[in-house]
Amino acid sequence: MQFFNDMALLFTRYNSFFTEGIRNTLIIAAFSVLIGTVLGTLMAMMRMSRILPLRLLATAYIEFIRGTPLMVQLMFIFYGLPMIGVTFPEISFIPDFSRFAAGIVAMSINSCAYVAEIIRSGIQAVDSGQMEAARSIGYSHWQAMAYVVLPQAVRNILPALGNEFVTMIKESSIVSVIGIADLMFRTRDVIAVTYRTMASLAIVALIYFCMTFLGGRLIAWMERRMSHGKG
C-alpha cells in the first residue's frame, strides 16, 4: 500500500515533470512517424522501382537500418555528424531545437525503413489479378495503381502504420540518452531528486502503457470503420 501511496504522491508532486515528458515524447513520435511516412513512401516506391540502381539502393538502406540498433543510429546523428561538420542549427524561440532535430532525424530515418516495408507489403498483398484486370481494360500502370491497387492497399497499410506510431512512442524513450527531455528523461530527473526508483519507474511504465494502449484502441476503431461495408 505504501508503494501506491508513494506513486500517487510522486505523480502529484512532480506532475509538471511527467506532463512535459509526455508532451515531448508525443512530439517526437508524431514528427518521426510523419516524416518517416513521407520518406518511407518514397523509399517503398524506389524499392519497387523497375530501375535496378534505385531498387538496390532502397533495399540496402532498408536492410541496413532495420539491421542496426536505433541507439547506434541516434549516436551517429547526434555525436557523429557534428564531428564531420554537420550541425543542427539552434532556433531561438524553440528551446533545445538542435537536440530535438537530431532526435527526430534519427527516429525518422529509422521509421522510414519500417514504413517502406509496411507500404511495400501492403501493396504487394493486393492480388496481382487486380492490376492485370486494370491493365487489360486499358489503364496505364500508374492509373491502375492510383485507382485500383492503392485504394485496396491503404486498407492493409493504415493499421500497420498505426502500430508503427505506437511502437515509436515506446522506442522514442531512447532519445533521452542524448538529453532530450522526453518522458524517460524526466522520470530519471524525478528519480535523481527523490531516490524513489521503483515508484517512479512504475509511474512511467503506466504512462507509456496508457499511451500505447489508447493508441492501439484508436487504431482498432479506425480499422473497424474502414472495413465497414467492405469484404
Partner 1 sequence: MERDEFLQIRGLCKSFHGTEVLKNITTSFVRNEVVSIIGPSGGGKSTFLRCLNLLETPTAGSVIFDGVDICAKKKDINLHRQKMGMVFQQFNLFNNVNVLHNLIDAPIRIKKTPRDQALEKAVGLLERVGMAERAESYPYELSGGQKQRVAIVRALMMDPEVMLFDEPTSALDPEMIGEVLDVMKNLAEEGMTMIVVTHEMRFAREVSSRTIFLDGGRIEEDKPSHELFDHPESPRLVSFLNKVL
Give rounded-to-5 percent helix, strand, coil for the chain: 85, 0, 15
What is the rounded CA–CA span in Å between residue 102 and residue 97? 9
- Of the pair 69, 151, the CB lying nearest partner 1 is at 151
Give one DSSP letter per residue of 10-34, joined into a string: HHHHTHHHHHHHHHHHHHHHHHHHH
- Closest approach of partner 1 to the CB of residue 229, in Å: 7
What is the rounded CA–CA span in Å between residue 48 and residue 56? 10
Q: Strand, helix or coil at 163?
A: helix
- Closest approach of partner 1 to the CB of residue 133, in Å: 4
Contacting residue, 151, 193, 214, 227, with partner 1 by CB under 8 A: 151
DSSP label of 80: I
- Closest approach of partner 1 to the CB of residue 129, in Å: 4
What is the rounded CA–CA span in Å between residue 130 and residue 148? 7
Contacting residue, 152, 156, 167, 194, with partner 1 by CB under 8 A: 152
If binding means CB under 8 A, how many residues of this protein chain bind partner 1?
A: 20
- Closest approach of partner 1 to the CB of residue 139, in Å: 7
Which ranges of 125-196 does DSSP label H, i.e. alpha helix? 128-136, 141-144, 150-171, 183-194
C-alpha cell, 108? 525518422
- Of the pair 112, 123, the CB lying nearest partner 1 is at 123
C-alpha cell, 74? 541516434
Binding mask 117-136 toward partner 1 (x if CB under 8 A, else -) reads ----------x-xx-xxxxx
143: contact with partner 1 by CB under 8 A: yes
Contacting residue, 1, 52, 86, 137, with partner 1 by CB under 8 A: 137
230: contact with partner 1 by CB under 8 A: yes
Amino acid at 7: M
- Of the pair 80, 151, the CB lying nearest partner 1 is at 151
The residues binding partner 1 (CB under 8 A) are 127, 129-130, 132-140, 143, 147-148, 151-152, 229-231
